Structure 1
């Protein structure tokens, strides 16, 4: 993996450091220290395939890594461990999700911060399962920045997919979730109804403008105050196709990573309850000049700088 973590070398002194200079490739979970950022790649898009989406997201983790490598290190005690990729070569999505969940659980039990690069949005159920395994007695809040609810009931004979994660979570108990960026033209009335039945709170994409930030902040804070730990998942198809063309389902009317977005996004990242973050649905096969991968890398990097 050494050929991935490369960047501009300005010097070896800490003031010159970029992310690639501070990466440690690891395979021993005993080496995780409190507040280390711990990275797993979820090189999987079996769930996208099952959900009839455009395949290719399995190739995203390494592309996102390359786009992260050159960012400057801001914090003096920054520590970043990379545990490599998890793949799904036998089409057994369920066992692959269990694999990631186990590794995420080990990460969190050691006090690390879990960072996962997808892969399809089937990563949500896997990542959440690992958090629940690590914190079985805590209320886990999920903030899902996505155009879709992903609360579709699995099809008979197909099983879990990139669109079923929140349905699966609800089957295991009460859900505490806020979905930001939901598009009316991307979810059927059945999915809106399921969201209401399950108690999934949401903010429509149309509501994400600067003058409405007080309301957005309030709804975010309402969730943050209600839970013990927080997991943030970002599906890159929430963004406009002009800045995120490389996704499984592109959106002509998606949101932008503008000032309004960055305000509430950083607000979430600064919350001390945040223990896990992932980005999903980057599809390098359809990307243009790495725009989508670069955006995903930039969003991840915001957490590394908090």
Structure 2
């Protein structure tokens, strides 16, 4: 059993997430304001991108690490619709399956939460948001060391590193990438970002004194779009706090006061309708550090 934790009592004041989550299969059970969770047990895109495989094992481990968090809001509701897998290496079908289910959730007025899996989850989740809101501008905030705007390789196809290239092929892209590392992106990828109009904040710019600028750029993105989707690639974080990822970052960022301030600022945006975490790789994790961090970041949204 995945959802289990410390039982302090059945009264509402004692409740933890495992006591309030409902495992569901019927999308008619979704109500406005619910958090609706899907696991994306897929790392075919990581494999295609020549990364370290294993992220497909993450969703249930993140669930386990979410279970014991206390419930803060009295009307909190979390529905878990299980996992979406990748049959026969067909990444495109897995992304389409995710998109279809996410769109159902959002059309009900609920909020979509997805646990990856590789960062190929981003394109599937984005498609779900776009399917639900076809006439609206979708803004993407990507907390990541990488732009993920590579052109798909011939004979290989889409991967965990091509999502924003794919989005840009469909029209104007409205994105803000936070935590970009100079030593993790070639000049070609920076050039592609500029050509596509992808806005970004370097990891070096994420310090406390610079928070007013970071806030302003987040606000600019949110004000320019109709709905917002937040995706977090766990390889943005320093390897000491996130060792279990597909591509370790020894100079990655930390979840310090500056990070938590701007992160919570994003979560408070009324236009935010979807969030995912990606690239937790349990095969390389130490004491579930990365999974625990991912669970904690998710839990921040559940408390807003």
TM-score computed with the length of structure 2 as normaliser: 1.00
Is residue 224 of structure 1 aligned with residue 216 of structure 2? Answer: no
Q: Secondary structure at the match of 1:279?
A: strand
Find the partner of 2:282 among 281, 284, 293: 284
In the other structure, the counterpart of 1:40 is 38
Q: Of 51, 67, 70, which residue of structure 1 is paired with 2:68?
A: 70
CA distance in 2, matches of 1:192, 1:129: 24
Partner secondary structure for residue 243 of structure 1: coil
The RMSD of aligned alpha carbons is: 0.3
Q: 2:200 aligns with which of 199, 202, 212?
A: 202
Secondary structure of the residue that 1:152 maps to in structure 2?
A: coil
Q: What secondary structure sits across from 2:242 in the alignment?
A: coil
Report the secondary structure of 2:122's partner residue: helix
> Post-superposition, which runs of at least 4 consecutive aligned residues in structure 1 deviate over 6 A?
none
Q: Aligned with 1:90: secondary structure?
A: helix
Aligned to 1:246: 244
In structure 2, the residue matched to 1:263 is: 261
Q: Which residue of 1 aligns with 2:213?
A: 215
**Rounded Cα–Cα distance in structure 2 between residues aligned with 1:181 and 1:5:** 32
Aligned length: 304
* Structure 1 unmatched ranges of 5 or more: none
1:71-220 to 2 correspondences below 5 Å: 71-220=69-218
Q: Structure 1 length as normaliser, TM-score?
A: 0.99
CA distance in 1, matches of 2:2, 2:154: 40
The runs of 5 or more residues in structure 2 that have no matched partner are none
Cα offset for 1:67? Answer: 0.2
Partner of 1:27: 25
Following superposition, the deviation at residue 304 of structure 1 comes to 0.1
